[in-house]
Amino acid sequence: MIKIEHLTKTYAGSEIKAVDGVSFSVNPGEIVGFVGPNGAGKSTTIKCITGILPFEEGRITICDKDIGIQPVDAKRNMAYVADENILYNGLTGKQYISLIADIFGVEKKIRDERTDKYSNLFDMSDKLGDKISSYSHGMKQKISIIAGLIHEPKVWILDEPMTGLDPKASFELKKLMKEHAEKGNSVLFSSHVLEVVEKLCHKVVIINKGKIITECTAEELQEKSGEMGLEEFFLKITGVFSGENI
Ligand SMILES: Nc1ncnc2c1ncn2[C@@H]1O[C@H](COP(=O)(O)OP(=O)(O)OP(=O)(O)O)[C@@H](O)[C@H]1O
Ligand SMILES: [Mg+2]
């Protein structure tokens, strides 16, 4: 459902490739975790996948639609929750969700049902009428997630979605991700919480300095890390053995 082939991205004015020849895919029914140290290239890759950033090399398709050639069709199949909340502070939560629903052409009855469902799950029902400027960081994150999922597309792409969420909201989001994948859809998310990635994901893609250093199933990850434990394994492959395949 998501296919990334030889993606290379260099920011203007930089001599370093932020993403360097990255290839991986997220198949139907899969949750894929994207991990790597700060500055590894996760958000850059994700922004290329979602069509926010142009890139100089490679090909990205979402449900067989090329993000460069058919960006509107590709985006119709995709939800994106960014790592930073870029919301309109002057709108209420409900108005913002409605704005996004308008963009994706979600009809009123369906958007109301989904808004009710998600705002109940994330304990935001009684806050929807308040201005976004009055929201806490976590509340803004919840509105980003609700608005991001309002058109319920096949592919979900979430950049550090659990950051800032309280335990209940985090639990509910993980449950939604699992249910979404179980219906045959695809979820790609980045995270620094290795335990969550290990528990939730079918596949884990580890990136460092713009290059994929390993791609494996959760079981393989456990085997590879062995007695070392996940954290030490991660430090080892992204530090001492940086850039090498293991
Ligand atoms: N707007 C930008 N302009 C120039 N360079 C950038 C820009 N955004 C990111 N970079 C560079 O691209 C590289 C990859 O950054 P990216 O944000 O993709 O990392 P990340 O893996 O998402 O990190 P984090 O875990 O901190 O979110 C870094 O070297 C970073 O300095
Ligand atoms: Mg990032």
Distance (Å, whole) CA 7 – CA 60: 8
Answer yes or no: do 232 and 163 share one domain.
yes
Tell me the per-residue pLDDT of 188-212, one tens digit each, with 9 for 90 and over. 999 999 889 989 999 999 999 999 9
User: Please, is 198 exposed, middle or buried when counting C-beta atoms within 10 Å of its C-beta (0-12, 13-18, 19+)?
Assistant: middle
Dihedral pair phi/psi, residue 83, rounded to 5°: -75, -20
User: How remote is the CA of residue 104 from the centroid of ligand 2, in Å?
Assistant: 26
On whether residue 101 sits in a domain, the answer given is: yes
User: Please, is 22 exposed, middle or buried when counting C-beta atoms within 10 Å of its C-beta (0-12, 13-18, 19+)?
Assistant: buried
**Averaged pLDDT for residues 33-40:** 95
Provide CB contacts within 8 A for 182, sequence distance 6+. 29
Q: Which of 46-50, 87-91, 216-220, 236-240 has the lowest mean pLDDT?
A: 236-240
Answer yes or no: do 164 and 122 share one domain.
no
Q: Which two tokens stand for residue 142?
A: 């919840």
On whether residue 83 sits in a domain, the answer given is: no
Return the DSSP state at 241: T
Answer yes or no: do 52 and 165 share one domain.
yes
On whether residue 118 sits in a domain, the answer given is: yes
Ligand 1 atom nearest residue 83's Cα = 27
On whether residue 82 sits in a domain, the answer given is: no
Task: Among the bound ligands, name the one nearest to the CA of residue 14.
Answer: 1
For position 31, what pLDDT does the model report?
98
Provide the CA 200 distance to its chain's centre, in angstroms. Answer: 13
Mean pLDDT computed over every residue of the chain = 93
Range of the domain at 17: 2-77+153-240
Ligand 1 contact, 36 CB (< 6 A): yes
The kind and range of the H/E element at 17 are: strand 17-26
Give the chain's radius of gyration (CA, Å). 18
Extract the runs of DSSP E, i.e. beta strands, from 114-231.
155-159, 186-190, 203-208, 211-217
Answer yes or no: do 181 and 205 share one domain.
yes
CATH, residue 45: 3.40.50.300
